[in-house]
Amino acid sequence: MPFQSMVFKALVAALSVSTALAAAVPEKHSSKIVSLDFRREKYTGGKSFNGTAASGEKRDVIPVDLGRDQIMYLIQVNAGSEADTITVQLDTGSSNTWFPVVGATCPCSESARYDPDNSYTSEYLYGPLTLYYGIGQAQGSFYKDTVALTEQPQVSLSNLQFAGVTDTDLNYGILGIGFDNGEFTTEYPNFAQTLKDQGYVSKNAYSLYLNSADATQGSILFGGKDTAKYQGQLSTLPITHPYRLAVALNSFSIGSFSVNGNQTNSMFDSGTTYTWLVPGIFDPLAAHFGWTQPDPSNPSHIGPCQGDDVVFDFGYNTKITIPYNLMVLPYQGNQCYIKIFRTRGTEVLNTLGDNFLRSVYTVFDLDNRQLQVAPVVYTTASNIVPL
């Protein structure tokens, strides 16, 4: 690189650092709440991904009909000094953030990629690395750079660490907002923790509102909650897993038939569409209700299209009721796909995805290692308060 270019890049980088440091002063963010709407999108192509988070395997193959029913929650960020606009999937079940880079092999848009070579604030850290997602994976290297929210460009994080991915099966990048120690590599401050570290919120905590099944968007409040979006009071549940956003399940019921949950860790995962239960819970349900598996190589089961409400009992006087129709998808005649799956990973972990989370308003309090939950209220009314 010519000396003049080196000097110019150094000057720009220095100015960027100065600006970032100024932006990180907590007094500049008096509300201490970052409110963000996300777009709800149905999966339309490429491989079908879903599944458990066992051993980092967060996606699994499912049938085409169910694949078309999968949901993603998408936001846009601007990465680097040139503000490359990138669409990412909001994922409480992951900790890492990654973006496809220019020239990457992936089913993602050519125009929505990160270009580290064109960013004066980009810092290469190390690589190569592989992030595993079951049948899918993302390969690349780690960088640090400035990342801002497209919807709120004033929320700009300097030196955020993320992966620049060169090869992946996934349609979009991931914005992982789980625990830092859930990362596939050496622990580092991820997006949610960096929001706190740089003064945009007072604590590493956020609330999630997925909205109704026919809605096109939902919202997440970093550092805040919306009291208009839930019924009654929030119940507090201790997080029981060392690095997942998971709580213990007391029991799982459909109508009058109940199965002991055996205090199994159950992760609240916005990056998964369906509910995945460990064999000890799933098998008694399948036997009792006559769920059948047409293809032994595929985890999908077929069962009745009509049924009683589904109830998750987490103890602490906390039960979440899900309408049965959210747990099925038409198959043939009076038979439906059951949108509850049997886990196949090695980790003993239930995964509660979109068809659970849409019925509950959830506060994820990572600082205090607890979740707060209440039945959701679908409304345009709003009353946002700090956490």
Residues annotated as catalytic (active site), given as ranges: 91, 269
Distances (CA, A) of 381 to 228, 229, 377: 6, 8, 10
Nearest one of 34, 37, 64, 36 to 48, comparing CA atoms:
64
Q: How far apart are CA 56 and CA 103, in angstroms?
A: 26
Contact between residue 74 and residue 90 where contact means Cβ atoms under 8 Å apart: yes
Q: How far apart are CA 131 and CA 199, in angstroms?
A: 29
- By three-state DSSP, how is residue 260 classified? strand
Instruction: Give backbone dihedrals phi and psi of 50, rounded to 5 degrees, phi first.
Output: -175, 180
Contact between residue 254 and residue 308 where contact means Cβ atoms under 8 Å apart: yes
Contact between residue 363 and residue 387 where contact means Cβ atoms under 8 Å apart: yes
Q: How far apart are CA 111 and CA 339, in angstroms?
A: 34
Name every residue whose Cβ is closer than 8 Å to that of residue 281 and which is 6 or more positions away in sequence. Answer: 249, 252, 259, 260, 261, 262, 264, 350
The amino acid sitting at 3 is F
